[in-house]
């Protein structure tokens, strides 16, 4: 399974914006869980994450 999530690199380095609306799910709880996992993984890799918006 693959999932495309809109994001963009920010300044300073190792900062990233993740657009929550790009996670499409029929269940808002599932979209929230996916975003939580993505943010946790990026933080673990050393990124500062800015979550933009809320799941669609």
- In this prediction, residue 25 carries a pLDDT of 77
Would you say residue 48 lies in a domain? yes
Domain count, the chain: 1
Task: Please give the C-alpha separations between residue 28 and each of 5, 8, 24, 25, in angstroms, as whole numbers.
Answer: 15, 23, 9, 6
**Does a structural domain hold residue 2?**
no
Structure tokens at 46: 């050393």
Residues 35/18, Cβ–Cβ less than 8 Å: yes
- pLDDT, tens only, 2-37: 788 999 999 989 999 999 999 987 766 899 999 999
Q: Establish if 1 belongs to a structural domain.
A: no
Question: What's the CA gap between 53 and 56, in Å, rounded?
Answer: 9
Instruction: Give a yes or no: residue 47 inside a domain.
Output: yes
Residue 32 lies in a domain: yes
For residue 3, the model assigns a pLDDT of 85
Please report whether residue 21 resides in a domain.
yes
Structural domain that includes position 13: 7-52
- The pLDDT of residue 2 is 79
């Amino acid at each position: 399974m693959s999932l495309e999530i809109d994001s963009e690199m920010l300044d300073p380095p190792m900062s990233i914006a993740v657009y929550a609306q790009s996670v499409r799910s029929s269940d808002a709880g599932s979209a929230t869980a996916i975003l939580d996992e993505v943010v946790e993984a990026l933080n673990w890799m050393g990124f500062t994450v800015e979550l933009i918006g809320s799941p669609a």
